[in-house]
Amino acid sequence: MRKAFAFVSLLSLSFFGAAHNHQHDGHDHHQHQVVQDSVGLQVNKAKIRAFLPAAKSTAGYMTLHNNTDKPITIVSAKIEGLGRVEIHEHIHSNGIMKMQPVKALIVSAKGHVEFKPGGYHLMGFDPKIKLKVGETRKLTLYFSGGEKVESTIKVVSLKDEFSNESHHHHH
Ligand SMILES: [Cu+2]
């Protein structure tokens, strides 16, 4: 009994310790979801905007870190409660900026890819369960080799999305 209690308090101590390290960022700690599994792809700062009234789609962003010494190719993404998620990129074509689906996104060995407005982004469609600001949904990324990484994505408001945009930073 005593042992179990000590173990739990140790866990909560390290949890608060980890959260404290992020306080310099000046924004919500819950956006710093870090999930790493055996394949070594880390998903950071994943967020998706709640659908605007009458909108058929919404955008999401995250940063991917490949901790392995081999490239990782992501072929699809899924978010709990959404009928469809696509990975998009913006391209310039004849002076017009448009977006198109990405069939294979490569995160180079030891490299990272930042999803951001005007670049790579997630596009969510067809909500089966309405996205509510403040909640966290399961995010799954599928690799070309059949592996997957499970993480979480935070639902934010339009205002949150733009307030973070102004001070994103590199590690
Ligand atoms: Cu898009």
Kindly report, residue by residue over 30-63, the tens digit of the pLDDT.
Answer: 444 444 445 599 999 999 999 999 999 999 999 9
Compute the distance from residue 120 Cα to the ligand 1 centre, in Å.
8
Nearest by Cα to 169 from 128, 114, 124 = 114
If you measure from the C-alpha of residue 159 to the centroid of ligand 1, how many angstroms do you get, rounded to a whole number?
Answer: 19
8 Å CB contact between 42 and 36: yes
- Give the per-residue pLDDT at 161: 78
Q: Ligand 1 mean position to 66 CA, how many Å?
A: 23
**Model pLDDT, residue 163:** 66
pLDDT by residue for the chain (171 residues), tens digit each? 444 444 444 433 333 333 333 334 444 444 444 444 455 999 999 999 999 999 999 999 999 999 999 999 999 999 999 999 999 999 988 888 899 999 999 999 999 999 999 999 999 999 999 999 999 999 999 999 999 999 999 999 988 877 654 444 444
Tell how far the Cα of 146 is from the centroid of ligand 1, in angstroms.
24
Tell how far the Cα of 87 is from the centroid of ligand 1, in angstroms: 7
Instruction: Give residues whose Cβ lies within 5 Å of ion ligand 1.
Output: 88, 99, 123
Q: In whole angstroms, give the CA distance from residue 164 to residue 28.
A: 10
Ligand 1 geometric centre to CA of 47 (Å): 14
Centre of ligand 1 to C-alpha 67, Å, is 27
- Residues ≥6 apart with Cβ < 8 Å to 141: 41, 43, 64, 74, 76, 77, 148, 149, 151
What are φ and ψ of residue 31, in 5° steps? -80, -10
The pLDDT of residue 39: 56
Q: Would you state the pLDDT for residue 166? A: 45
Measured in Å, residue 31 CA sits from the centre of ligand 1 at 21
User: What is the second-level CATH architecture of the domain 33-165?
Assistant: Sandwich (2.60)
Q: Is the pTM of this model over 0.75?
A: no
Cα of 121 vs centre of ligand 1, distance in Å, is 6
pLDDT, position 93: 86
Nearest Cα residue to 105 out of 85, 91, 120: 120
> Integer distance in angstroms from the first to the last C-alpha of the chain?
41
